[in-house]
């Protein structure tokens, strides 16, 4: 029997090539807020569907009253929390990592590059990442968001690079990962 793999939100505190440890800690905290507000406890199972099909265990640090006051804007908190989970999913399920924040108007949130400790500069843009969070949504709402975000990435399709669209819903919790292949039909 195989053990379920664990995603520790607090591992974001170490940072990534395009995520400072401070930002990683912040989005980790946002994730803890969203999951705790939806009555989940550390160890809850995240269902992953779409391009990948798996179940992962989510762990996080306890939420403080100070953190609750800091993250009082539900929409903003949900967006930031979704980034954190999406980054961890990309690291866990692909050979990619977050290498650069995209600029406004591109139709996606982050550039992805190869995650390989032997490569000194992993900053080659290999794929695009678009992320969205939903605090509480039914399957129809989640699927509609995936479709909306997939359409949104069209603004940068001329780049010819594949895109991952990740929608995280916190009430279930579930994450749908859609992959948009490049014109040659390949995906990393």
The pLDDT tens digits of the residues spanning 14-32 come to: 999 999 999 999 999 999 9
* Phi-psi region at 160: left, alpha or beta (left = phi > 0; alpha = psi -120 to 50): left
In this prediction, residue 188 carries a pLDDT of 42
In this prediction, residue 116 carries a pLDDT of 66
Q: How sure is the predictor about 117, in pLDDT bands with cuts at 50, 70 and 90?
A: low
Query: Residue 31, CB half-sphere, CA atoms under 13 Å: how many?
Result: 31
Domain-by-domain residue ranges, the chain? 5-180
**pLDDT above 90 for 186:** no
CA–CA dist 22, 82 (Å, integer):
17
DSSP summary character for residue 19: B
In this prediction, residue 120 carries a pLDDT of 55
Q: How sure is the predictor about 115, in pLDDT bands with cuts at 50, 70 and 90?
A: confident
Q: Are 34 and 133 in contact (CB under 8 A)?
A: yes
pLDDT tens by residue, 40-80: 999 999 999 999 999 999 999 999 999 999 999 999 999 99
**pLDDT above 70 for 93:** yes
Please give the average per-residue pLDDT across 93-120, as a whole number. 86
- Peptide bond preceding 55 in cis form (omega within 30 of 0): no
User: Is beta strand 163-169 parallel, antiparallel or unpaired with respect to 127-134?
Assistant: parallel
Q: What are phi and psi for residue 159, nearest 5 degrees? A: -65, -25
CA–CA dist 110, 100 (Å, integer):
6
Mean pLDDT value across the chain? 92
**pLDDT above 90 for 1:** no
In this prediction, residue 96 carries a pLDDT of 94
Tell me how far apart the terminal alpha carbons of the chain are, to the nearest angstrom: 29
Closest CA to 113 of 42, 4, 20, 17: 17
List the alpha helices (DSSP H) in the chain: 21-37, 65-70, 74-93, 139-152
- CB-based contacts of 157: which residues, under 8 Å, 6+ apart? none
- The larger pLDDT score, comparing residue 185 to residue 153, is at 153
Q: Are 18 and 145 in contact (CB under 8 A)?
A: no
Long-range contacts of 119-122 (CB under 8 A, 24+ apart): 122/17, 122/97
**pLDDT above 70 for 169:** yes
């Amino acid at each position: 029997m195989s053990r379920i793999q664990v995603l520790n939100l607090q591992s974001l505190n170490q940072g990534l090539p395009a995520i400072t440890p401070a930002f990683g800690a912040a989005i980790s905290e946002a994730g803890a807020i969203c999951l705790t507000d939806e009555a989940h406890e550390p160890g809850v199972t995240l269902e992953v569907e779409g391009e990948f099909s798996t179940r992962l265990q989510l762990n996080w640090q306890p939420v403080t009253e100070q953190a609750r006051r800091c993250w009082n804007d539900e929409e903003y908190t949900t967006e930031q929390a979704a980034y954190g989970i999406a980054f961890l999913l990309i690291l866990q399920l692909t050979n990619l990592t977050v290498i650069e924040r995209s600029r406004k108007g591109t139709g996606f949130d982050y550039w992805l590059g190869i995650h390989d400790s032997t490569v000194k500069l992993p900053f080659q843009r290999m794929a695009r990442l678009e992320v969205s969070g939903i605090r509480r949504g039914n399957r129809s709402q989640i699927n509609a968001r995936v479709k909306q975000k997939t359409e949104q990435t069209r603004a940068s399709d001329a780049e010819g690079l594949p895109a991952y669209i990740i929608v995280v819903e916190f009430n279930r919790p579930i994450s749908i990962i859609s992959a948009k292949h490049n014109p040659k039909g390949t995906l990393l």
